[in-house]
Amino acid sequence: MKEGPAPTMFALLQAAHAVETRVEEALEKVDLSGAKFVERLTCVRSNITQLVDRLEADGLVRRVDDPDDRRSKRAEVTALGRKRQAAGAKQVEALEAKFTRTLSGVDSTTFRAALAALR
Amino acid sequence: MKEGPAPTMFALLQAAHAVETRVEEALEKVDLSGAKFVERLTCVRSNITQLVDRLEADGLVRRVDDPDDRRSKRAEVTALGRKRQAAGAKQVEALEAKFTRTLSGVDSTTFRAALAALR
DNA sequence: GAAGATTGAAGTCTCAATCTTT
DNA sequence: AAAGATTGAGACTTCAATCTTC
């Protein structure tokens, strides 16, 4: 019945998942999602298209033609978008503070070095 | 232009995302996905229904009526399912080994304690 | 009514194919 | 041909509603 302790790799994934859930919940308070808040650029183009679709539907962003390149569209953040972004940032900052407190007993340099090695 | 270093919280999420991508890629080699391999029970019921749908479509699982409770279905793993599971486990083990090697310079007890605190 | 499973709808992500513009 | 955006399809996840059985 060999069944060692849960590998560290899964402990990492589990911890990250828990943190991510908290981030999503915090952003939900201000009617945002993680994806909408981050507007990440580390994804495929079609994902951005759909994400901007949803942001535009929420009135947070407006598509504008790029005058310099007619293939391009610019996503212009609306006033509501800026307000929402600020509210989201506030939520995330609060979470970061709590995160830091939770890890107050840990040497952050070492911890971050370990995470960086895994990237 | 205050713009501190990327918070540790995001470093964690980023590292976990990188690791998860590698896990998915490894499982893809044996025609599995992370969800199909883990068959996690930490999700809502409707998710399980759909996951079993996909597993059944792949021939890895078979729905069987529960004789003791006519509301229930049992998901019986097929021979192919067991074979696939073993292949997936092999891939994951290899990744874990690499993961451990990458973190060989880190005190795993401390690292795991930090992760556990975040759960 | 509560517990099983399922369905429908929506968000997030990826890939392949397409269309326009450069 | 290469670079922009988009569309269509599929995987994964959640929630709300429904249906059957307990």
**Stronger pLDDT, B6 or A83, i.e. the higher one:** A83
CA A69 → C1' C20, Å? Answer: 11
Residue of B nearest to A14 (CA): B119
Tokens of B106: 């880190």
A89 vs B: CB within 8 A: no
Q: In the structure, how far is the CA atom of residue B74 from the C1' atom of nucleotide C1, in angstroms?
A: 25
Q: List, for residues B15-41, the tens digit of each pLDDT value.
A: 999 999 999 999 999 999 999 999 877
Q: How far: A48 CA to C18 C1' (Å)?
A: 17
- What phi and psi, each to the nearest 5 degrees, are found at residue A52? -65, -35
- Closest among A14, A39, A42, A44 to B23, alpha carbons compared: A14
Who among residues 67-86 of B has its Cβ near strand D, under 7 Å?
A: 69-71
The answer to whether the beta carbons of residues B116 and A10 sit under 8 Å apart is: no
Segment B76-101, tens digit of pLDDT: 999 999 999 999 999 999 999 999 99
Rounded to whole angstroms, how far apart are CA atoms A94 and A96? Answer: 5
- Closest-approach nucleotide to residue B66, Cα vs C1': C4
Question: How is residue B6 written in tokens?
Answer: 């990327």
CB-based contact (8 Å) between A90 and chain B?
no
Quote the tokens at residue A4.
Answer: 């060692």
Instruction: Write down the pLDDT at residue A40.
Output: 74
B106: which residues sit within 8 A by CB, 6+ positions away?
A110, A113, A114, A117
Helices marked H in chain A — which ranges? 8-28, 34-38, 45-57, 79-102, 108-118
In this structure, what token pair is assigned to residue A17?
A: 């998942």
Q: Give the residue with minimal CA–C1' separation from D13.
A: B47
pLDDT in tens, chain A (119 residues): 555 677 999 999 999 999 999 999 999 999 999 999 998 778 999 999 999 999 999 999 999 999 999 999 999 999 999 999 999 999 999 999 999 999 999 999 999 999 999 99
Mean of the per-residue pLDDT values of chain B: 94
